[in-house]
A = this chain, B = another copy of it.
Amino acid sequence: MIIIKQIKSMSRWAKTQKNKGRTIGFVPTMGYIHEGHLSLVRKAKKDCDRVVMSIFVNPIQFGPKEDFKRYPRDSKRDYRLAKSAGVDLIFYPSTKDMYPDNFLTYVSVTGLTNILCGRSRPDHFKGVTTVVTKLFNIIAPDIAYFGQKDAQQAIVIKKMAEDLNFPIKISVLPTVREGGGLAMSSRNTYLSASERYDALVINRALKSAKRLISSGELNAYMVISHIKKLIKQKKSVRIDYVEVVDMNSLKKINKISGGVLIVIAVFIGKTRLIDNITLKI
């Protein structure tokens, strides 16, 4: 497995692969690799000739009071896990190279980014779309892989790639869960044992909502109330939002029909966790 830290070397490698007619699958990450990331790598290996993983904790997608500094980092462990899943190359750039002094250019998707997570994290998605644009230009992948756990991110990136005509397919793969149903996230490492236990309520509430809808409840307000009631049973869990939205536009819906996304964001202690399920009615 190759490790490249320089942007220029990365571009050159990608160009060489293209010239040899090889396709590149790309898995962007902020490191602290878990099974969710590795499931993307395995799919990329099936689809493409070469798999590139980037590891970069992107400062501009964190708010001033968020966890940029304490975000978990362990490059040795990440390398080992990436290699075991078959990653061909890790791109591990420095912040200084990605955002030199006098960096001035931003990519924003309007409309989709001021709702849900964007409400409590106002510049988050602008940071994501900017870094993903940079990585797309540096790595020039044929397919880029994202996890459904970050549902809004996946929709925002798909919209960006479409609007800006990136010649790149965006592939979104199912959320990978721990045994108890908790969605895999690098941030799970922040949780104490009891917090991790309480966090199971998120997925439990989503599954219960799904059953409620299957039994005929199509009123989004009733479904949201049901979820909130379940979550509130755990005193350590504070709700940021619970919404039922259209799967593509992310707009709130009243009557559940068509492609629907049920999205949850909560705080447990200082840790912010998100999860979601998709339904087709």
Contact = CB atoms under 8 A, between A and B. Distances in A.
B107 A111 contact: no
Interface in A122-161: 129-130, 133-134, 137-138, 140, 159-160
Contacts of A18: 18
Nearest to A10: B165
A29 to B, nearest CB: 18
Contacts of A109: 104-105
From A107, A112, A159, name the one whose CB has the most chain B CB atoms within 10 angstroms: A107
B11 A134 contact: no
A107 B107 contact: yes
A130 B160 CA distance: 11
B104 A112 contact: yes
Interface string A85-126: 000000000000000000111111111100000000000000
Contacts of A140: 167
From A133, A138, A163, A167, name the one whose CB has the most chain B CB atoms within 10 angstroms: A163
